[in-house]
Structure 1
Amino acid sequence: MKKFSLLILLCAFFIISCPSKGEAAAVQSKIILDSKEISMPANVQVHVVNENVMIPIRIVVENLKFKVDWDQKSQGVKIQQDAKIISLTVNQQEATVDGKQVVLTAAPQVKNETVLVPIRFVSEQMGISVSWDNLDKTVYLTSSNKESIKDGQAGTVETVLPTTDAPEVTEVDTDPIASNGSGQTTNLLNHVNRLNFVNNQLIISSDGAVTPNISRLTNPDRIVVDLPNTTFADSFGSVQPLDAGLKGILDVSGYPNISEVRYSLFTRDPYQVRVVIALKQANAYQLIPGLDSNMLIIDLNVTEDSTTYVPPVVGSGRKIVVIDPGHGGSDPGTTSITNKHEKDFTLPLSLKVQALLLKEPNIAVVMTRDSDVYPTRPKRVQLANQLKADVFVSIHGNSLLNSPQANGTETYYYQRSSSKDLANVIHKYLVKAIGLRDRGVKNESFQVIRETTMPAVLLEIGFLSNSAEEMILQSDDMQNKAAQAIVDGIKEYVGVK
């Protein structure tokens, strides 16, 4: 593996004087390059930015021989080795590799005078074997092909973020090698992204299809859900409790028959996540389809002797908010003026909304997708209705390619006065926060807001087909403002301070 493979990462390693944008949570960490630990200055750490593990590797420059040019004015870095050229720009998600454009999962950022680059970019664009040990917060980089990076080291968890669309770039399989318990190994280790307990239903979102093993036990009564060949995503601990032993407990206050819902990495050989629903008395359940093969729903709203649905008498008291990042997977959505996909705009913005809502103790947030998958519109509707959500918000980017001057923010609802009220409130905050042209609140028969049974809106944040507006929409600063505005609108509508 050519050392040049690392170069694009290493653009991240230059000392730069500029303020950091976006929220970055530093973690005490180590970086191991080809089995050798790199000495890290005290102010240089791995960061988690909007659920992306970001690696500061300016210190790696000392270990490689290549030409690096830094342009202070454009905030761009050009890396060159022989005829190979890679270019990155701070706060922009687009990079070029030998003249071909690729999209990063998160824009490079500056922290403590060091540029940060998402870990996924390492594996996808550089052909380097990368793993993240969530237990000891260590990044492992291996420049050789497909090695078991940590053979013989027990008690660790290696996870790799799911892949993203990167046209014309060969993807390298960097999933950790997981034991199946019989001396053999298998790739494709699954990762739990999020757990929710909403409306007496356990919702498990992962980055791959998992077939659960579910059992009912007594003394005490409990439902045990085992997820084989599965561990926690490295971003899991940033969105909900996960201690050093990779254990946590969900908040299930208000459910009369539930004592607690606890989860853990139950075994490491083979990898298995276990979720236990502790009951006050025996309770039936049914496993029902989620939005796609990556979502599992264990529904406790059934009678003991049948599968008849029984609405829970008491809920958690929290308002249920469903956030729907438009499009995804095989449905890219519209195309921007610079040929970017709408789905790659809606997901990062929606994840920012999720992160803010997770801080609200009186709100339970559920995502229709948290990765690049495509739940169909009927399934998005089905999930929201099944959860008896209080609010449904679908997030989109607008486009009129035959009218590139079109601009502004507009919000849609369908007929229901409650939906119109929600639309007016969120729209008010959005227009004020991001400052784009006010195109108004409109009635339109979009399926996800027509067939949902709760107050529902579809937000067209701005026009991706407008070159000036697209630049604004793709910035972390604007997305943070838009996310906060959406959350402020939701909170006002549901009466949460």
Structure 2
Amino acid sequence: MNKKAILLVISTLMLLATVTPVRAASTGKAITPIVDGKVVQSDVDPIIEKGRVLVPLRALASLDLEFLWDGTNKIATVKNKEGKYAMLRLREKMARVNGQEVKLDAPLTVVKGRVLVPLRFIGEAFGFQVNYEAERSAVIISNSATEQQEEAFSSGVFIDWKSGDDPLLNEVIIENLKTALASMAEKDIDTFKSVFINSTTPSAFIYLLENEYRFEALGTVMDDRSGRIEITIIGKVKTSDGIVNETNLAFYYMKDKQGEWKLASID
């Protein structure tokens, strides 16, 4: 084997050594990417290179990033919906963010045809929360805006009942409504069922307990002229996928066979 061939073999071996997936030292397991609370499946595992975690670009797709790989020039471009972009060239330790040069702790690399990028750089460039948990052998990536929104949301009943000075709101209705709202905020199915006018009605509304609620104010109170009193409750709801929306729920009360006011429906 001539000298050039030997050098080529050595160079190839060195390159392979830098891109071989490294398993977490504490567990011996491959590193798992978790994006916004969901495990992301990939045909290439994240790797650790010189103490830095690199992840497949496609594993970050749920963060609303666009990717472009220029195979000719070996350049990856990452862009978000606001137009901010980052450009990284294969094995180079300088990147560009909106045209400004930024030094990388670890360069972009390619493993089995998949482009891997330094995770912390992507997090800092686009404002994502990034953590590596050695014990779980996982990299945790989350959208900062989503995380802040979740932290700001707290379920419960925060209504000033003194503001509900309406002759239609008698003590029986108010106590029943308080119990209904608390059971929804606490996801207490048995208590939720107990506030309805009969035992069959609650089954149509159990699905509401899949969400989280923050009840903030008493809205309109009115007689709908069919023997029912309609009470609107204003607040926020967080769905199972973490989305928070404003909500106005209407609670309808009517008298049962014993003449007692009970919850008949929710709309």
TM-score range, shorter chain: 0.3 to 0.5
Tell which structure's C-alpha radius of gyration is larger: 2
Query: What TM-score, normalized to structure 1?
Result: 0.24
Query: What TM-score, normalized to structure 2?
Result: 0.42
Identify the structure with the greater helix proportion: 2
